[in-house]
């Protein structure tokens, strides 16, 4: 069943879907009045019958579903900027794996520079995670923040665990860190760009409390590192 997110509920126990979602229902899915869809409102999931198709879709509540597909550990991913295709992949997979927020980071060695296009980029990224949330049956859509600078990132330490992925094998391994996590903990993890973090970046982040962790003996691509890391967190969350 197709899932859609809405921002408000109507007084008559119906939901009015947005322009893009209505178009998807009308033209892509070619649904009809009476068809059943899933609507998510404030983390709650409802089975709804389409009562109106045009100009915007109106869905009437049939029943509420008791389900929670979210991780018990709240994970914020800080992803250093990479080329568009790789960034899209990271956003999709991070959303599917349960991340609650994603912040792009303008690393020293990031090939991509966002600049004046940051607002348009952020809108596009937020659209990608919305679609990925619908596809993966999430209860919430991850928040996509503005592109961070190093000084801004150094102030983001109000978490139970602050992790910095490093290629230094001598650092503490991820498995040992994750064994200390408990349900309800909050975590922020930073993944570097294709060229890795500069020495200055790693030093600055460690000084404010970020713990460097190794993902193993192999050097992973940045898009692989984020998926590996979130998969590991998801695995321990299943226990």
Distance CA 195, CA 144 (A): 23
Give me the pLDDT at residue 101, please: 98
Distance (Å, whole) CA 163 – CA 214 = 10
Left, alpha or beta for 108 (phi > 0: left; psi -120 to 50: alpha)? alpha
pLDDT the model gives residue 215: 85
Output the pLDDT for position 73.
94
Q: For domain 74-237, is the CATH number 3.40.1280.10?
A: yes
User: Span 3-65: which CATH code?
Assistant: 2.40.240.20
- Quote the pLDDT of residue 239: 64
pLDDT on residue 169: 60
The pTM score is: 0.91
Q: pLDDT averaged over consecutive 10-residue blocks of the chain (239 residues)?
A: 93 93 96 97 95 96 90 96 94 97 94 78 94 96 95 96 82 83 94 90 95 86 92 85
Question: Structural domain boundaries of the chain?
Answer: 3-65, 74-237
What would you measure as the largest C-alpha separation in the chain, in angstroms? Answer: 61
């Amino acid at each position: 069943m197709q899932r859609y997110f809405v921002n408000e509920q109507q007084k008559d126990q119906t939901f009015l879907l947005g322009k893009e979602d209505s178009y998807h229902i009308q033209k892509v899915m070619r649904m009809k009045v009476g068809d059943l869809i899933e609507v998510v409102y404030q983390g709650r999931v409802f089975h709804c019958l389409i009562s109106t198709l045009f100009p915007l879709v109106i869905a009437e509540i049939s029943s509420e579903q008791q389900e929670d597909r979210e991780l018990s550990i709240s994970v914020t991913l800080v992803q250093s900027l990479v080329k568009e295709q790789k960034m899209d992949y990271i956003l999709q997979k991070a959303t599917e794996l349960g991340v609650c927020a994603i912040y792009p980071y303008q690393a020293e060695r990031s090939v991509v520079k966002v600049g004046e296009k940051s607002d348009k980029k952020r809108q596009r990224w937020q659209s990608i995670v919305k679609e990925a949330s619908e596809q993966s049956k999430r209860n919430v859509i991850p928040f996509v923040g503005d592109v961070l600078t190093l000084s801004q990132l150094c102030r983001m330490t109000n978490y139970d665990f602050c992790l910095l992925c490093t290629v230094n094998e001598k650092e503490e391994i991820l498995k040992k860190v994750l064994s200390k996590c408990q349900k309800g903990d909050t975590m922020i993890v930073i993944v570097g760009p294709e060229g890795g973090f500069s020495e200055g970046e790693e030093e600055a982040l460690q000084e404010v409390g970020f713990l460097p962790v190794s993902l193993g003996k192999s050097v992973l691509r940045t898009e692989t590192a984020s998926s590996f890391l979130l998969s590991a967190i998801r695995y321990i969350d299943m226990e």
